[in-house]
Protein backbone atom coordinates (compact mmCIF):
# COMPACT_ATOMS: atom_id res chain seq x y z
CA UNK A 1 0.00 0.00 0.00
CA UNK A 2 1.56 3.37 -1.01
CA UNK A 3 2.00 6.08 1.63
CA UNK A 4 2.36 9.75 0.79
CA UNK A 5 3.92 10.91 4.09
CA UNK A 6 7.22 9.74 5.57
CA UNK A 7 8.37 10.64 9.08
CA UNK A 8 11.98 9.99 10.12
CA UNK A 9 13.81 10.05 13.43
CA UNK A 10 14.24 8.64 16.88
CA UNK A 11 12.04 6.34 18.89
CA UNK A 12 13.04 6.04 22.53
CA UNK A 13 11.87 5.31 26.04
CA UNK A 14 10.81 8.27 28.16
CA UNK A 15 10.96 7.66 31.90
CA UNK A 16 8.43 10.11 33.31
CA UNK A 17 8.60 10.99 37.02
CA UNK A 18 5.92 10.22 39.57
CA UNK A 19 6.09 13.81 40.80
CA UNK A 20 7.94 17.08 40.28
CA UNK A 21 11.54 17.30 41.39
CA UNK A 22 15.13 16.65 40.36
CA UNK A 23 16.57 13.28 39.43
CA UNK A 24 18.14 13.09 42.87
CA UNK A 25 14.76 13.50 44.54
CA UNK A 26 12.17 11.71 42.37
CA UNK A 27 11.39 8.27 43.87
CA UNK A 28 10.15 6.55 40.71
CA UNK A 29 9.38 6.77 37.01
CA UNK A 30 6.86 5.37 34.57
CA UNK A 31 8.05 3.95 31.23
CA UNK A 32 6.48 5.51 28.15
CA UNK A 33 7.20 5.30 24.42
CA UNK A 34 8.63 8.55 23.12
CA UNK A 35 10.75 10.43 20.65
CA UNK A 36 9.34 13.49 18.87
CA UNK A 37 9.21 11.94 15.37
CA UNK A 38 7.62 8.79 16.79
CA UNK A 39 4.95 10.90 18.46
CA UNK A 40 4.36 12.80 15.20
CA UNK A 41 4.03 9.57 13.23
CA UNK A 42 1.54 8.10 15.69
CA UNK A 43 -0.42 11.37 15.82
CA UNK A 44 -0.68 11.36 12.02
CA UNK A 45 -1.94 7.78 12.16
CA UNK A 46 -4.64 8.89 14.60
CA UNK A 47 -5.64 11.85 12.41
CA UNK A 48 -5.39 10.33 8.95
CA UNK A 49 -3.74 7.47 7.11
CA UNK A 50 -0.64 6.09 8.90
CA UNK A 51 2.61 7.47 7.47
CA UNK A 52 5.75 5.52 6.78
CA UNK A 53 8.15 5.84 9.70
CA UNK A 54 11.91 5.41 9.44
CA UNK A 55 13.50 4.75 12.81
CA UNK A 56 16.00 2.44 14.52
CA UNK A 57 15.73 0.75 17.90
CA UNK A 58 17.91 -1.73 19.75
CA UNK A 59 17.42 -5.49 19.69
CA UNK A 60 16.64 -5.37 23.39
CA UNK A 61 13.45 -5.52 25.49
CA UNK A 62 12.90 -1.77 25.18
CA UNK A 63 13.31 -1.94 21.41
CA UNK A 64 10.88 -4.82 21.11
CA UNK A 65 8.38 -2.92 23.23
CA UNK A 66 8.69 0.14 20.98
CA UNK A 67 8.35 -1.91 17.80
CA UNK A 68 5.16 -3.48 19.14
CA UNK A 69 3.83 -0.09 20.22
CA UNK A 70 4.36 1.44 16.78
CA UNK A 71 2.63 -1.46 15.05
CA UNK A 72 -0.23 -1.35 17.57
CA UNK A 73 -0.77 2.28 16.59
CA UNK A 74 -1.11 1.27 12.95
CA UNK A 75 2.32 2.24 11.61
CA UNK A 76 3.84 -0.02 8.94
CA UNK A 77 7.10 -1.69 9.96
CA UNK A 78 8.79 -1.38 6.56
CA UNK A 79 11.39 1.12 7.80
CA UNK A 80 11.45 0.26 11.51
CA UNK A 81 14.97 -1.09 11.89
CA UNK A 82 16.31 -3.31 14.68
CA UNK A 83 19.99 -2.83 15.59
CA UNK A 84 21.60 -5.94 17.06
CA UNK A 85 24.73 -4.00 18.02
CA UNK A 86 23.25 -1.13 20.01
CA UNK A 87 20.83 -0.41 22.82
CA UNK A 88 17.64 1.64 22.65
CA UNK A 89 17.92 5.27 23.75
CA UNK A 90 16.55 6.17 27.19
CA UNK A 91 15.51 9.64 28.33
CA UNK A 92 14.68 10.57 31.92
CA UNK A 93 12.27 13.48 32.14
CA UNK A 94 11.99 15.73 35.17
CA UNK A 95 9.83 18.77 35.71
CA UNK A 96 9.37 21.51 38.28
CA UNK A 97 6.13 22.68 39.88
CA UNK A 98 5.36 24.88 36.86
CA UNK A 99 5.64 21.92 34.47
CA UNK A 100 8.93 23.08 32.92
CA UNK A 101 10.72 19.93 31.75
CA UNK A 102 14.33 18.83 31.55
CA UNK A 103 15.74 15.75 29.81
CA UNK A 104 18.65 13.52 30.74
CA UNK A 105 19.59 11.21 27.87
CA UNK A 106 21.35 7.86 27.81
CA UNK A 107 22.23 7.99 24.12
CA UNK A 108 25.93 7.27 23.62
CA UNK A 109 26.10 5.07 20.51
CA UNK A 110 22.51 3.93 20.84
CA UNK A 111 20.44 2.61 17.95
CA UNK A 112 18.88 5.88 16.80
CA UNK A 113 22.33 7.48 16.45
CA UNK A 114 23.21 4.72 13.95
CA UNK A 115 20.71 5.43 11.18
CA UNK A 116 22.51 4.97 7.86
CA UNK A 117 22.22 7.03 4.66
CA UNK A 118 20.22 5.56 1.82
CA UNK A 119 18.04 3.18 3.79
CA UNK A 120 14.93 4.94 2.48
CA UNK A 121 15.14 4.31 -1.25
CA UNK A 122 14.49 6.84 -4.00
CA UNK A 123 11.43 4.93 -5.22
CA UNK A 124 9.78 5.40 -1.84
CA UNK A 125 10.55 9.11 -1.83
CA UNK A 126 9.15 9.48 -5.34
CA UNK A 127 5.81 8.20 -4.01
CA UNK A 128 5.81 10.61 -1.05
CA UNK A 129 4.28 14.07 -1.06
CA UNK A 130 5.62 15.04 2.35
CA UNK A 131 8.68 14.16 4.47
CA UNK A 132 9.11 15.25 8.09
CA UNK A 133 12.18 14.99 10.34
CA UNK A 134 13.51 16.41 13.60
CA UNK A 135 16.75 17.76 14.95
CA UNK A 136 17.71 15.12 17.51
CA UNK A 137 19.11 12.68 14.93
CA UNK A 138 21.34 15.49 13.65
CA UNK A 139 23.18 15.70 16.96
CA UNK A 140 25.51 12.69 16.69
CA UNK A 141 26.60 9.51 14.95
CA UNK A 142 25.90 8.37 11.41
CA UNK A 143 22.30 9.53 11.97
CA UNK A 144 23.45 13.09 11.21
CA UNK A 145 24.60 12.18 7.70
CA UNK A 146 21.58 9.91 7.25
CA UNK A 147 19.12 12.66 8.15
CA UNK A 148 20.81 15.25 5.93
CA UNK A 149 20.91 12.73 3.09
CA UNK A 150 17.20 11.99 3.47
CA UNK A 151 16.24 15.67 3.51
CA UNK A 152 18.38 16.42 0.45
CA UNK A 153 16.93 13.55 -1.56
CA UNK A 154 13.38 14.36 -0.43
CA UNK A 155 13.79 17.94 -1.63
CA UNK A 156 15.21 16.68 -4.92
CA UNK A 157 12.16 14.41 -5.28
CA UNK A 158 9.87 17.47 -4.90
CA UNK A 159 8.50 16.33 -1.54
CA UNK A 160 7.34 19.05 0.82
CA UNK A 161 9.92 18.85 3.61
CA UNK A 162 8.99 19.89 7.15
CA UNK A 163 11.36 20.05 10.09
CA UNK A 164 11.27 20.48 13.87
CA UNK A 165 14.65 21.60 15.28
CA UNK A 166 13.72 20.14 18.70
CA UNK A 167 16.69 21.62 20.55
CA UNK A 168 17.87 19.41 23.42
CA UNK A 169 20.91 21.24 24.75
CA UNK A 170 22.42 18.17 26.46
CA UNK A 171 22.87 16.51 23.05
CA UNK A 172 24.94 19.34 21.54
CA UNK A 173 28.41 20.58 22.56
CA UNK A 174 27.16 24.16 22.32
CA UNK A 175 24.57 26.33 20.60
CA UNK A 176 26.97 27.11 17.78
CA UNK A 177 27.18 23.45 16.79
CA UNK A 178 23.40 23.22 16.84
CA UNK A 179 23.04 26.31 14.66
CA UNK A 180 25.65 25.09 12.18
CA UNK A 181 24.30 21.58 11.65
CA UNK A 182 20.62 22.52 11.71
CA UNK A 183 21.45 25.37 9.35
CA UNK A 184 22.72 22.76 6.89
CA UNK A 185 19.41 20.90 7.24
CA UNK A 186 17.34 24.04 6.66
CA UNK A 187 18.78 24.26 3.14
CA UNK A 188 16.33 21.49 2.21
CA UNK A 189 13.34 22.54 4.36
CA UNK A 190 10.09 24.09 3.18
CA UNK A 191 8.17 24.23 6.48
CA UNK A 192 9.93 24.86 9.80
CA UNK A 193 7.96 24.33 13.03
CA UNK A 194 9.82 25.55 16.10
CA UNK A 195 9.74 27.54 19.30
CA UNK A 196 10.92 31.13 19.34
CA UNK A 197 13.90 30.05 21.45
CA UNK A 198 14.93 27.49 18.84
CA UNK A 199 14.67 29.97 15.98
CA UNK A 200 16.66 32.52 17.98
CA UNK A 201 19.37 29.88 18.51
CA UNK A 202 19.45 29.46 14.73
CA UNK A 203 20.14 33.16 14.30
CA UNK A 204 16.68 34.46 13.42
CA UNK A 205 16.08 37.79 15.14
CA UNK A 206 12.86 39.59 15.95
CA UNK A 207 11.06 41.42 18.73
CA UNK A 208 8.03 39.13 18.57
CA UNK A 209 7.23 35.54 17.53
CA UNK A 210 5.75 36.86 14.28
CA UNK A 211 8.89 38.87 13.52
CA UNK A 212 11.08 35.83 14.19
CA UNK A 213 8.94 33.69 11.87
CA UNK A 214 9.15 36.38 9.20
CA UNK A 215 12.94 36.49 9.55
CA UNK A 216 13.13 32.72 8.98
CA UNK A 217 11.03 32.98 5.83
CA UNK A 218 12.91 36.00 4.50
CA UNK A 219 16.23 34.16 4.73
CA UNK A 220 14.83 31.18 2.80
CA UNK A 221 14.64 28.56 1.44
CA UNK A 222 12.02 27.93 4.16
CA UNK A 223 8.76 29.32 2.78
CA UNK A 224 6.59 28.69 5.87
CA UNK A 225 7.68 29.21 9.48
CA UNK A 226 5.47 28.29 12.41
CA UNK A 227 6.37 29.44 15.92
CA UNK A 228 4.71 27.45 18.68
CA UNK A 229 3.80 29.20 21.93
CA UNK A 230 2.35 26.44 24.09
CA UNK A 231 -1.01 27.30 25.62
CA UNK A 232 -0.92 30.70 23.87
CA UNK A 233 -1.21 29.02 20.47
CA UNK A 234 1.06 29.70 17.51
CA UNK A 235 1.98 32.22 14.86
CA UNK A 236 2.92 31.45 11.27
CA UNK A 237 4.22 33.24 8.21
CA UNK A 238 4.10 31.91 4.64
CA UNK A 239 5.81 33.61 1.71
CA UNK A 240 4.69 33.80 -1.89
CA UNK A 241 6.83 30.71 -2.58
CA UNK A 242 4.50 28.53 -0.50
CA UNK A 243 1.99 26.26 -2.26
CA UNK A 244 -0.73 27.78 -0.05
CA UNK A 245 -1.60 31.50 -0.05
CA UNK A 246 0.98 33.83 1.49
CA UNK A 247 -0.21 34.90 4.92
CA UNK A 248 0.69 36.00 8.43
CA UNK A 249 -1.40 34.20 11.04
CA UNK A 250 -1.76 34.50 14.80
CA UNK A 251 -3.74 31.54 16.10
CA UNK A 252 -4.80 31.52 19.77
CA UNK A 253 -4.71 28.43 21.94
CA UNK A 254 -7.71 26.55 23.30
CA UNK A 255 -8.99 26.62 26.87
CA UNK A 256 -8.90 22.99 28.03
CA UNK A 257 -8.44 21.17 31.32
CA UNK A 258 -4.77 20.23 31.13
CA UNK A 259 -3.78 16.84 32.54
CA UNK A 260 -0.40 16.23 30.89
CA UNK A 261 1.53 18.32 28.35
CA UNK A 262 3.83 15.48 27.26
CA UNK A 263 3.82 15.23 23.47
CA UNK A 264 1.57 18.25 22.94
CA UNK A 265 4.14 19.98 20.74
CA UNK A 266 4.51 16.86 18.61
CA UNK A 267 0.72 16.64 18.33
CA UNK A 268 0.71 20.24 17.09
CA UNK A 269 3.32 19.40 14.45
CA UNK A 270 1.26 16.44 13.24
CA UNK A 271 -1.86 18.60 13.09
CA UNK A 272 -0.09 21.23 10.99
CA UNK A 273 1.35 18.63 8.61
CA UNK A 274 -2.02 16.86 8.24
CA UNK A 275 -3.92 20.10 7.58
CA UNK A 276 -1.45 21.61 5.12
CA UNK A 277 -1.08 18.33 3.27
CA UNK A 278 -4.88 18.16 2.99
CA UNK A 279 -4.95 21.56 1.31
CA UNK A 280 -6.01 23.85 4.17
CA UNK A 281 -4.84 27.43 4.08
CA UNK A 282 -2.38 28.60 6.75
CA UNK A 283 -5.00 30.08 9.09
CA UNK A 284 -7.09 26.90 9.10
CA UNK A 285 -3.98 24.72 9.48
CA UNK A 286 -2.77 26.66 12.53
CA UNK A 287 -6.22 26.48 14.13
CA UNK A 288 -6.38 22.73 13.50
CA UNK A 289 -2.86 22.20 14.84
CA UNK A 290 -3.62 24.23 17.97
CA UNK A 291 -6.70 22.09 18.55
CA UNK A 292 -4.72 18.85 18.12
CA UNK A 293 -2.07 20.05 20.56
CA UNK A 294 -4.64 21.23 23.10
CA UNK A 295 -6.68 18.04 22.91
CA UNK A 296 -3.52 16.00 23.50
CA UNK A 297 -3.05 17.67 26.90
CA UNK A 298 -6.43 16.53 28.26
CA UNK A 299 -5.32 12.97 29.06
CA UNK A 300 -2.21 11.40 30.55
CA UNK A 301 0.52 10.03 28.35
CA UNK A 302 2.22 11.04 25.13
CA UNK A 303 1.11 8.62 22.44
CA UNK A 304 -1.86 7.35 24.41
CA UNK A 305 -3.35 10.85 24.64
CA UNK A 306 -3.11 11.71 20.93
CA UNK A 307 -6.56 12.60 19.58
CA UNK A 308 -8.60 11.34 16.66
CA UNK A 309 -9.84 13.69 13.94
CA UNK A 310 -13.37 13.47 15.38
CA UNK A 311 -12.11 14.59 18.82
CA UNK A 312 -10.29 17.53 17.27
CA UNK A 313 -13.37 18.49 15.24
CA UNK A 314 -15.47 18.49 18.41
CA UNK A 315 -13.03 20.88 20.09
CA UNK A 316 -13.03 23.21 17.08
CA UNK A 317 -16.83 23.22 16.95
CA UNK A 318 -17.05 24.01 20.68
CA UNK A 319 -15.08 27.24 20.30
112 flagged as catalytic? no
Q: Give the DSSP per-residue string, the chain.
A: ---SEEEES--EEEEEESSSS-TTT---EEEEEE-HHHHHHHHHHHHSSPPEEEEEEESSHHHHHHHHHHHHTT---TTEEEETTSPPPEEEEEE-TT--EEEEEE-TT-GGGG--TT-S-HHHHHH-SEEEEESGGGSSSHHHHHHHHHHHHHHHTT-EEEEE----GGGSS-HHHHHHHHHHHHTT-SEEEEEHHHHHHTT---SSHHHHHHHHHHHSS--EEEEE-GGG-EEEEE-TTSSS--EEEEE-------S--TTHHHHHHHHHHHHHHTT--HHHHHHHHHHHHHHHTTSSSSGGGPPPHHHHHHHHHH-
CA 132/CA 188 separation, integer angstroms: 11
Q: Please identify which of the residues 122, 164, 266, 280 carries the catalytic annotation.
A: 266
Catalytic residues: 266
Amino acid sequence: MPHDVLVAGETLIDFVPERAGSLEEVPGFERRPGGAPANVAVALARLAEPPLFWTRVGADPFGRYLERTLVDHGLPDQFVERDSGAKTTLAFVTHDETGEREFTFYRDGTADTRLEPGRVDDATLSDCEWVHAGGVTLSSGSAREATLDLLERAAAADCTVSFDPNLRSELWPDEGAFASVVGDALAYVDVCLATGTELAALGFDGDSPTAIARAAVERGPVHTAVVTRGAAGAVAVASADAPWPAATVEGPGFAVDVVDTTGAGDAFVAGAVAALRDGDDLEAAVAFANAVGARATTAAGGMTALPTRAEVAALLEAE
